[in-house]
Structure 1
Amino acid sequence: MLLLIIAAAVIWRLYLWSRAPHDAPTRSVALSLLSAGLSYPVAMPGGTTGIDTVAGHGTAKLVQNVLLLLTVYFLMCFYLYSADGYAARRRARWEAAVVAAVTAAIILAAVSVPHEALAGSFSTADMTIPQVAFFYTGAGLYLMYALGAAGRWSARYARMSRRPHATGLWMTAIGLGAMAAACAVRAVFVAVRWSGGSVPHQLTASVAVGLVVSSLLFVAGITYSGVRARITATRLWLRRRRDHRRLIPLWQLLIEVYPENELRPASRGLWDRWRARGVHRRYHRRIVECRDGLVDISPYLVRGEDGTGLLDLDPTQLARRLRSAATMIKNGVPAPGQAVALAVPQEDDRNADVRQLIAVSEALRLTA
Structure 2
Amino acid sequence: MILSAALLVMLWGLAVARLPTIWRDATQRALTAAVVALAISRTAAFAVEHHWARAAVLQHLAALVAAYFLLRFLLLATGRGRRWHVASAGVVLALLVVAGGAVVLAPGLLDGPLTPGVAAYWVLLDCYVAVALMAGATVFWTIGAKLPARWSVAALRAIAAGAGLLALDASFRAVVTVLLGAGRTLDVAAMGPPAMVGQAAGGLLMVTGGAVTTYPRARAALAAYRSLVVLRPLWRAMRDAFPEVILFSPRRAIVELAGVDDVHLRLYRRVIEIRDGMLALRGYLDGTPDDPGPEGEARRIAEALRRRAEGAEPSGTTAGWAHVGPGMADEVAWLGRVSSAYRRLAKRPVSSPPAARTPRPSGSAR
The 5 A counterparts of 1:39-78 are 39-40=41-42, 43=45, 44-45=47-48, 49-50=53-54, 60-61=56-57, 64-78=59-73
The 5 A counterparts of 1:24-103 are 25-26=27-28, 28-29=30-31, 32-33=34-35, 35-37=37-39, 39-40=41-42, 43=45, 44-45=47-48, 49-50=53-54, 60-61=56-57, 64-85=59-80, 88-95=81-88
AA aligned opposite 2:144 = A
Partner Cα separation in structure 2 for residue 183 and residue 71 of structure 1: 14
Q: Does 1:177 align with 2:155?
A: no
In structure 2, which of residues 170, 188, 203 is the aligned counterpart of residue 215 of structure 1?
203
Deviation at 1:177, TM superposition (A): 1.2
Gaps of 5+ in 1: 52-59, 121-125, 303-309
Give per-residue Cα distances to partners, 1:214-262, cap 9 Å, x unaligned. Answer: 22443565676667645533431232222222x38xx96x99xxx9756
The equivalent of 2:363 in structure 1 is none
Aligned 8 A contact 2:130 2:170 in 1: yes
1:189–1:340 CA distance, 2 compared to 1 (3 A): same
Give per-residue Cα distances to partners, 1:12-67, cap 9 Å, x unaligned. Answer: 777755765xx4x456445544654554565434996457xxxxxxxx55x64455
In structure 2, which of residues 135, 138, 143 is the aligned counterpart of residue 149 of structure 1?
135
The equivalent of 2:111 in structure 1 is 119
Q: Does 1:232 align with 2:220?
A: yes
What SS does structure 1 have at the residue aligned with 2:169?
helix
Aligned length: 328
In structure 2, which of residues 273, 277, 280 is the aligned counterpart of residue 289 of structure 1?
277
The equivalent of 2:185 in structure 1 is 196
Q: Does 1:343 align with 2:319?
A: no
Give per-residue Cα distances to partners, 1:114-146, cap 9 Å, x unaligned. Answer: 9668428xxxxx88x877766655543443333
Aligned 8 A contact 1:241 1:283 in 2: no
The equivalent of 1:244 in structure 2 is 232
Give per-residue Cα distances to partners, 1:58-91, cap 9 Å, x unaligned. Answer: xx55x64455344324322322233335xx3334
Deviation at 1:204, TM superposition (A): 3.5
The equivalent of 1:55 in structure 2 is none
Provide the identity percentage: 20
Which structure is richer in relative contact order (CA contacts within 8 A, separation 6 or more)?
2
Aligned 8 A contact 1:65 1:139 in 2: no
Deviates more, 1:169-178 or 1:137-146: 137-146
Give per-residue Cα distances to partners, 1:148-181, cap 9 Å, x unaligned. Answer: 1221022223334577986764443222112123
Partner Cα separation in structure 2 for residue 334 and residue 145 of structure 1: 71
Aligned 8 A contact 2:245 2:273 in 1: no
AA aligned opposite 2:131 = Y
Q: TM-score if structure 2 supplies the norm length?
A: 0.60
Aligned 8 A contact 2:18 2:32 in 1: yes
RMSD after superposition = 5.5
What SS does structure 2 have at the residue aligned with 1:301?
coil
1:47–1:352 CA distance, 2 compared to 1 (3 A): same
